[in-house]
Every structure is written in C-alpha cells, then in structure tokens.
Structure 1
Amino acid sequence: MGSPDPIEEDCNHRPDHGPNNETISARNAHDNGYDDDWHSIELGEKKPLLGDKEGQGRKEGGCYVPKRYELLFLAWLGTAMMFVMRINVSVTMAVMTNATFTTQAEDPNRTAKTCRSPNSTSEDENGQACSHSVDIAEVTLGWLPDGGEFLWSSHEQELILAGFFYGYAAAQIPGGWLTDKIGGTRVFGISMFLSAAVSLLSPIAAKLGYSYFFAVRILCGIGEAGTFPALGSMVARWFPPQDFSAAFSIALSSAKFGTFIGTVLSGLISGSDLLGGWPMTYYAFGGFSLVLVVVWMARIYETPGRHPRISSKEKQYLSTTVITEKTEKISIPVVDMLTSIPVWTIIVTSFCGSWTNQAMFTNLPIYLKHVQGMDIELIGIAAAIPFAVESFFLVVGGMISNKLIKRQVLGVITTRKLVTFIGFALSALCFLLLAYVGCDTVLAVVFMIGAVGFNGICTCGYYVNLMDIAPRLAGSLIGLVNSSSAFSGAISPYVVGVLTPNQSDITGWQTVFIICCGINSFACLVFLVFGSGKEQKWAKQPGKDDS
C-alpha cells in the first residue's frame, strides 16, 4: 500500500519542503480522486494550531522522528493527564470525607457484615468477619475520630463520582460531531484546557459545599467529552489502516496508565502535609496539564499536509494511505448509523464493559478503605495496580491483534471476537471470585487486578472495531458509542451507592461484584453473535468504489 513505511530514516537527512514536495502531494491527491487542489490532503486546516512563523519550508536537522509518532506520544500523554484528573477524585474522596459518618447504617438497628469496625479501636481477635451494630447517633460534630472534613453521605459521594459522567455523556455526541467538523487536534486541545481549568477550581468548589463540587465534576465531564472522538479521528488521519489496531490501542492505553499513576500520586500526595494534602493533587495535575496544552498547540498540526517539519518521504507515504477528505465536507449519515446492527453491537458491548470498569474506577479506593481497612497511601498503590495491568494488556493485545491481521493468521472480525471473548471471560471469572474473598485482603487485590486488567484485552476487540466499520466517521461514531459508555458510568456509581449504604458491609459489595460478572458475560455474548469487521457502506466516502 503506497511506498514503504518510513519508520526509520537517515539521521543526517534534511527533508526539503520545496516545490517538488508539493508536486508529489498534488499528484497523490489527484490519483486518489481529489483534483480540486492539493489542499485536499489538508483536511480543511487553514493554519496551524499556533501560527507557524518559520513557514512550510522549515528543514529538520538531527535524527528525524516521524511526526505521526510525535502526535501519538503527545496525545498519549495528554489523555493520561486527563485520566489522572478524572481518577484523583476517587482517591481523595477517601480522605476528604469522614469515615465515621459514611460507614453508618441508615437504620440504627441494622447489622452489617464487616471485616472489622473501621472506626473502632477494638477488633475481632480472630480477624474474621463479624457483625457490628452501628448507631448513627454516636456521631456528632464534636466527635469525629476519622479525619475527613466533609460530612458527605455514601449517596452524596456516589453522586459526586457519577457527576463527571453526567457531563461526559451529555457532551459525547456534540464532541464527536465537532471533531469531524473542526478536526481532532483542536478538540483534543480544548478538552485538555477545560479539564485543567476545572481541576484547579476543584478544591475551592469542595470547600464551598457538596453541590458546588458536584457541579465542577459535571463541568469536568463536559470538558473531557471530546477526548476519545478526537483520538479516533487523529489515528484515522495520521495512520494507515493496517496500523489502526496498534496506534489506537497505544492511544487508549494512556487512559489506563493515567489511572494508574493518578491513583498512586493522589494517594501519596493526599497522605502528605503538602499544601493541605488532597488539594495539592488538583493543583499539581491541573498546572502540569496547562503546560501540556501549550506544547500541544505549538507542536501539533491537524494533517500531514500542513505540518512544516514533516519529511517529504513520510508526507508522501501518508498522502496515499490515510483519510484525505476535508473535515468540513464530511456529511454524517445519522439515520444509517443509528440503524446499523454493527454499531448497536458496539454500543451495547461498550455500555457493559464501561459499567464494570467504571464501577471499579470510582469505587476501588472506597472498597479498600472501608472493607479491607487500608491506609490512604497503600490504597493509592493497591488501587492503581489493576489499571497498570489493564494498560499493559491493552498495548500487548493491540500489538498481537495487529500481527494476526497483518500476517493473515486470522481475519479482522475473528481477531476482534477472539480478544473480546478472552478479555470478558477472564474478567467475569475474577469478579465472581472477588465476590467471595471476604476479608482476605491479598486475594481481594489479586482478583481486582484480574477483573480490571483483563478488561484491557477485550478493549482491543470491541472498541477498536469502531475503526474497522467506519474509519472515516471515527469522531462521530466514537462520540455515539461513548455516550452509552458514559451513561453506564453515570449510573453504575449510583447503583453501587444503593447497594452499599454502609460502605463497610461485605454483603453489599458481594452483590456489586456478582452483577459485574453477569454484565461482562452478557457483553461477551452480544459481540460474539452480532459483531462485524467490514467497513459499512454508509461509512464510505461518496463516489468511492465499494468493491
């Protein structure tokens, strides 16, 4: 497909961006059916994200790094930071709120099966689960033995955790549409900026009150809604189809890495005295992200055709392999998209996968603190490990899928279904085992790692399948699918809160894990039966040969 992939070039090569390069680009554009002008490979971008003072003729010295890899790295880092700012509230919630208040039973006479009483100096001498009768009347403003300054109930905490997904779900479809209209790089930069700004405001909002903090979390969700539509669009416009699996999987892995590093750092910083502990997490992550926004605007361009530092060899290669249609000319076939069985298959599968992942994403620190009795510093590490494993499996699964397809060992849809089955089946099994570990902290952490980690494998199947069926409309389709994912992320914390009114009650968490097991099993079955790997007719460019 086109010229060989220029992964490596002579480190002393200085690419020329003179008239010959533009002539090559024009010829490639004409051969692909775009004979209006050579700007057809520029996807409608009139100028770079920041003004290019040196112009298109700039030469690159030193060892050349392909610009699509530079984009992928900065997109990976930006997505990781947005997930750092998304996860830190789950960790800081455990130290912001008063544990005595949040482990009370609504009914004073109700008994709860717990590993120990988290707020009592006495423990069961055998360390086994036992029943404790908790009297909410014992808690007064003058007696708060377990630290946290905010008296937020379990229900209020879960609403705060779900607040992000309310905004995220509402803005998904607009975010996808905007991506296909103005370009993924711009939407991604806007998402980073809004997320950083909201993070900096979060400590002030929390001190103003529960409702203000809840509102800020909704704004954070709105700000990050364009992240995944933008990633899909950028991959489709900077990478050839045979590299979709690897590139998109690497981009997605940043979310898991961000969750991992965010959980660890949030736990360590919250347990310190640095600027009050937990507020510092919001200031540090938000400040670093603002710096990253500036770097993104200075270094990243919407298309290969507008990049002033791209080599002629890489530019020629990409002009014959990537999507070259101008963004403003793309028409969204809404009716065909909403009546497509492959699309609804991914929507349902994504809803289920997101349910279980978000239930863990938002509640692991709470479970480890109130059920297993961990300290906040240890919680940051233990709750982070599952997402590091998920990130690893996501990258490895994507690369293996890429090899299977490139070497024609398996077809596209067979590969997607295989990795989806492996991931969901193993994750469901770990959730089932997690439901019955009781007070064994070591086994609880091991099965949490499996339940979350194996989810990375199935993501290489059903989620990357978006790029198979409609690469040209990646932004809009990912926005649609992510709406269902965000909706499940919004309601799963609420359901967890209903099932665990006393956050130290083992029985409530057991029910949560069994439900997650059933949801993963159902998602696996749906994708195996209805999944498709063919590019859909309605997703193809008008006038393109459908053969």
Structure 2
Amino acid sequence: MYVALCGGQQRDFEWDSRTQGLVHSAFFYGFTASQAPGGWLAGRVGGSKLFGLAIGGASLLSLMTPSVARAGVRPLLATRALEGLAAGVAHPSLDALWPLWAPPLERGRLVSFAVAGYGAGMVAALLPSGYVAARFGWPWVFYLSGSLGLLWSVLWWLCARSRPGLCGGISPEELAYITESLGHSRGAPQVVAYPWCSIATSAPVWAGVAAIFVGSWNYYTLAAQLPTYMRDVLCFDLGRAGALAAVPYMAVVLVVPAAGRGADWLLIRGLGITQASIHLSLCI
C-alpha cells in the first residue's frame, strides 16, 4: 500500500510532504480508534466472523482506493481512515480466538506464528509492489492486494470457526485435548465481568502498553516511511525501494517464532512461568 501511494504521488499527484503524511496517518487514526470496540465486538459475535468481515472490508476499501484518490485528497483520507477502522478490528478479533483455541503450553508458538504472519504479509506485499507499480501502474498494487484479500476473507468465512466445538474438521482427540487443557466446557462461552478500574490503574498493564506502543511505532513508521526514504533520499527506483523496504520484516518472520518457542520453553520448565515469558517477549 505504501509503495503504491508513493508511486501514485510521484506520477499522478502533486502532494507536498504534509499531504503525504496525512494520507499515511489517516489509516492509523482509524486503526487506533477501532481496537477497543473491536475487542468488545469479538467477545459478543465471535472473533472468527468479525476477523473475516474486517479483512473483507479493508480489502474492498483497498480496491476502491485508486478511484477515490483521483476524486481528491479528502475522499482519500476518509477511505484510508475507514480502512484503518476495519483493519483495527482484525487485531482484537484474532486475539479473541487464542483463549478458545490455543493450549497454554503451546500458546507462545501458535501466537508467535500468527504474529510472524504480519511480517510475512509485509514481505509478500513490499517485494513485488514496487515492480508492479513501475510496470503496470500504482493502482494495480491496490487491485491485486484487494482482490487477494477478498478471496482470502471468503475462504476464511467458509472454513474458520470461533471455537473448536464448532469446527467440523477437528478430530475428537484433538477437541478433547484442547478443551481439557483450557478447562473450557463445550458450550457457549460465558460473559466475564472484567475489573476495569484495577486494569486501568495497574502498573504492569501500562508497562505493557508502553512497550507495545514503542514496538508498534517502530513497525508502522518503517512500513509507512521506508519506501519514500529509499526513493527520495537514497535515490532508488520504485522497484528496488519496495524490495529493500521488505528486509526488516524478513527479520520479523525469523525472530518472532523463535521468541514464541522460547516463551513456551520457559512455561514448560517452570522457569519464571508467565512473568519470565512476558519479559522475554517484550525485550525481543
């Protein structure tokens, strides 16, 4: 997306640096605003359904982006913000699935494998997007990514389920293992009353928020600005800029699963249990 916007600004639009910043940041305003509501909705309608809808909605808006961009900056800003709203719902929707699917002693590996998918997605998008934009035009980056996202969301909707008990393809042995390890009944999940005041005044919670904020700022700043930096400062062509911008996310694909396995190793051996695994993950 960022390589495509970079190519569009270079070829078809005369955006100054302030406008470029607004176009990039509009997505994150929506992304931030929908995190908490997305978690609330996931707990009531099911993380699986909401995750598929979120990805499908973001993909549809991606398909619309080239046409909206030609209509003006304001419609583009609104579309990018809406796309951020949809993408922001996806994160807590996926998080809502882990307590229902992932056994405690395997959760680090499973969650880290999924998180590594974010980096793999960035690599898969950035590597070809510069060349696609240079060869066929920047709108085709949005057309291809949006079409693939819609196709994937349909497959997800058909195959994925919010709870193991609703999955027709799971074996009785695996279902028994998951439910027994989690201590869940096979019925509908119960509504939990959360101690919001205690959570809001917890120092460890705010420490985690700060760590995630710093990590997210670094992750998404690189995603948004690195292609432009490669093109404007280092003078690479658009194809090479996109490919080089993918390099940091290759490290994510390699490091994050290793961190998950390390966290599970600590849990299995009782070396510090949960606190040690959290500290290790945040440090990495």
Structure 1 window deviating more from structure 2 (398-407 vs 248-257): it is: 398-407
Quote the residue 2:71 is aligned against. Answer: 208
Name the CA distance, whole Å, in 2 between partners of 1:91 and 1:216. 17
Give CA-to-partner distance per residue, 1:166-206, whole Å, 9 cap, x none. Answer: 11111111001111112110110111111111011001011
From 61, 68, 85, give the equivalent of 1:198. 61
What is the DSSP-based 3-state SS (H/G/I as helix, E as strand, rest coil) of the residue aligned with 1:293? helix
Q: Contact 1:237/1:323 (CA < 8 Å) preserved in 2?
A: no
Provide the identity percentage.
27
Counterpart check, 1:302 vs 2:214: no
Change (3 A) 1:290 1:93: closer
From 89, 106, 117, give the equivalent of 1:226. 89
Matches within 5 A, 1:32-47: none
Counterpart check, 1:245 vs 2:157: no
What is the DSSP-based 3-state SS (H/G/I as helix, E as strand, rest coil) of the residue aligned with 1:329? coil
From 202, 205, 208, give the equivalent of 1:343. 205
Quote the residue 2:151 is aligned against. Answer: 291
Matches within 5 A, 1:15-26: none
Change (3 A) 1:170 1:419: closer
Q: Give the letter aligned to residue 389 of structure 1.
A: A
RCO comparison, higher one (Cα < 8 Å, 6+) = 2
Structure 1 consecutive aligned stretches of length 4 or more whose deviation exceeds 6 Å: none
| Structure 1 residue 332, shift from structure 2 partner | 3.3
Name the CA distance, whole Å, in 2 between partners of 1:374 and 1:233. 41
| Structure 1 residue 348, shift from structure 2 partner | 1.4
What is the DSSP-based 3-state SS (H/G/I as helix, E as strand, rest coil) of the residue aligned with 1:271? helix
Name the CA distance, whole Å, in 2 between partners of 1:409 and 1:329. 32
Matches within 5 A, 1:106-505: 148-273=11-136, 277-322=137-182, 324=184, 326-327=188-189, 329-421=191-283, 458=284
| Structure 1 residue 405, shift from structure 2 partner | 2.6
| Alignment gaps of 5+ in structure 2 | none
Name the CA distance, whole Å, in 2 between partners of 1:237 and 1:419. 22
Q: Give the letter aligned to residue 243 of structure 2.
A: I
Pairwise CA RMSD of aligned residues?
A: 1.6
Name the CA distance, whole Å, in 1 between partners of 2:148 and 2:233. 34
Name the CA distance, whole Å, in 2 between partners of 1:368 and 1:382. 8
| Structure 1 residue 409, shift from structure 2 partner | 4.5
Q: Flag the structure with larger Rg.
A: 1
Name the CA distance, whole Å, in 1 between partners of 2:198 and 2:257. 32
Give CA-to-partner distance per residue, 1:344-373, whole Å, 9 cap, x none. Answer: 111111112222222212100111111100
Name the CA distance, whole Å, in 1 between partners of 2:269 and 2:116. 24
Q: Contact 1:263/1:384 (CA < 8 Å) preserved in 2?
A: yes
Q: Contact 1:238/1:303 (CA < 8 Å) preserved in 2?
A: yes
Name the CA distance, whole Å, in 1 between partners of 2:276 and 2:166. 37
Change (3 A) 1:323 1:298: farther
TM-score (norm. length: structure 2): 0.94
What is the DSSP-based 3-state SS (H/G/I as helix, E as strand, rest coil) of the residue aligned with 2:250? helix
Q: Give the letter aligned to residue 211 of structure 2.
A: T
Q: Contact 1:304/1:310 (CA < 8 Å) preserved in 2?
A: yes
What is the DSSP-based 3-state SS (H/G/I as helix, E as strand, rest coil) of the residue aligned with 1:286? helix
Q: Give the letter aligned to residue 241 of structure 1.
A: P
Q: Give the letter aligned to residue 143 of structure 2.
A: Y
Name the CA distance, whole Å, in 2 between partners of 1:318 and 1:405. 17
Q: Give the letter aligned to residue 203 of structure 1.
A: P
Give CA-to-partner distance per residue, 1:45-98, whole Å, 9 cap, x none. Answer: xxxxxxxxxxxxxxxxxxxxxxxxxxxxxxxxxxxxxxxxxxx2x111221113
Name the CA distance, whole Å, in 2 between partners of 1:313 and 1:411. 27
What is the DSSP-based 3-state SS (H/G/I as helix, E as strand, rest coil) of the residue aligned with 1:244? helix
Name the CA distance, whole Å, in 1 between partners of 2:115 and 2:58. 18
Q: Contact 1:181/1:328 (CA < 8 Å) preserved in 2?
A: no
What is the DSSP-based 3-state SS (H/G/I as helix, E as strand, rest coil) of the residue aligned with 1:308? coil
TM-score (norm. length: structure 1): 0.50
| Structure 1 residue 327, shift from structure 2 partner | 4.0
| Alignment gaps of 5+ in structure 1 | 1-87, 99-147, 422-457, 459-547
Name the CA distance, whole Å, in 1 between partners of 2:210 and 2:145. 33
Q: Give the letter aligned to residue 363 of structure 1.
A: Q
| Structure 1 residue 322, shift from structure 2 partner | 2.4
Change (3 A) 1:328 1:193: farther
Q: Contact 1:182/1:328 (CA < 8 Å) preserved in 2?
A: no
Count residues in correspondence: 282
| Structure 1 residue 381, shift from structure 2 partner | 0.8
Q: Give the letter aligned to residue 320 of structure 1.
A: E
* Higher share of residues assigned helix: 2
Change (3 A) 1:328 1:290: farther
Give CA-to-partner distance per residue, 1:468-505, whole Å, 9 cap, x none. Answer: xxxxxxxxxxxxxxxxxxxxxxxxxxxxxxxxxxxxxx
Q: Give the letter aligned to residue 241 of structure 2.
A: I
